[in-house]
Amino acid sequence: MDMVAGKVKMTQQSVNSTMNPIDALERPIRLTARDVTVHYGAKQALHGISIDIPDRAVTSFIGPSGCGKSTFLRCINRMNDTIEGAKVGGTIKLDGDDIYDPNLDVVELRARIGMVFQKPNPFPKSIYENVAYGPKIHGLARSKTDMDEIVVSSLRKAGLFEEVKDRLNEPGTGLSGGQQQRLCIARAIAVGPEVILMDEPCSALDPIATAIIEELIDELRENYTIVIVTHSMQQAARVSQRTAFFHLGNLIEEGVTEDIFTNPEHKQTQDYIMGRIG
């Protein structure tokens, strides 16, 4: 209920004003990456990425197409494991535990680090089942009542419940693009993750749906560590507290979003922000 009220409040503000200049550096560090490299077959896609990602803040990865930002994002929940021929080097730690530890259970890791994809990809099931799927496979609900609660609260957190409460049993694929993407966010939230990775979540959406998702991201950061890949610098400026600029498989620079956009250290970053490369 709070979330719905909060959402109403948010929509009354302009999206720009949601950029809250918190000092993200004061937040504890959740994710630590050191010298991460990725090879696809013989081709090297990432050259030694090192970055710290703070707790309960939005970190955005920007950069031109093919710069490796999505590749790095997919390293964080080991989605690259599902790609043939991909090889990841270096270390990524979540709360100090190496996620590439051979003893670590990938399935559990992905429950802790949820993901939202570029194209809304609801399963061809009902809205309810889409959200309930994650909790079901991880055994999070003891009863039907538990499950109902998880589904409703996840849909609320994703700001979708009011729109779909009367048609939870209709297929998720029947929703609009923006609603589908929020359904995917609800689906990710339902598992109870600590980190949510978003891979260009608005690139397939119209401006209004994009604004709604951006507001949602801003709300979600109170409870989740969020990493978002975006090709829109405006979006990075609007939703993130920290920004990392990638170019040709290298992390050029990262820091507080405001600093990156107003006072970048590297010329490449400045060129990209001014629209000279990309």
Q: Write out the residues near another protein by the rule CB under 8 A.
A: 77, 79, 82, 84, 106-111, 114-119, 121-125, 133-134, 137-138, 173, 184, 187-188, 191
**Separation in Å, CA 274 to CA 15, 254, 262, 271:** 22, 17, 11, 5
Nearer to another protein, 188 or 251 (CB): 188
Closer to another protein by Cβ: residue 120 or 159 = 120
Nearer to another protein, 31 or 252 (CB): 31
Phi, psi of 116, deg, nearest 5: -120, 135
Best CA proximity match to 183, nearest among 215, 207, 151: 151
Contacts for 229 with CB less than 8 Å, ≥ 6 apart: 60, 61, 69, 70, 73, 198, 199, 200
Taking the least distance from each CB to another protein, the nearer of 28 and 124 is 124
Q: Which residue is associated with the tokens 């009011």?
A: 162
Contact assessment for residue 245 and residue 62, using Cβ atoms and an 8 Å cutoff: yes
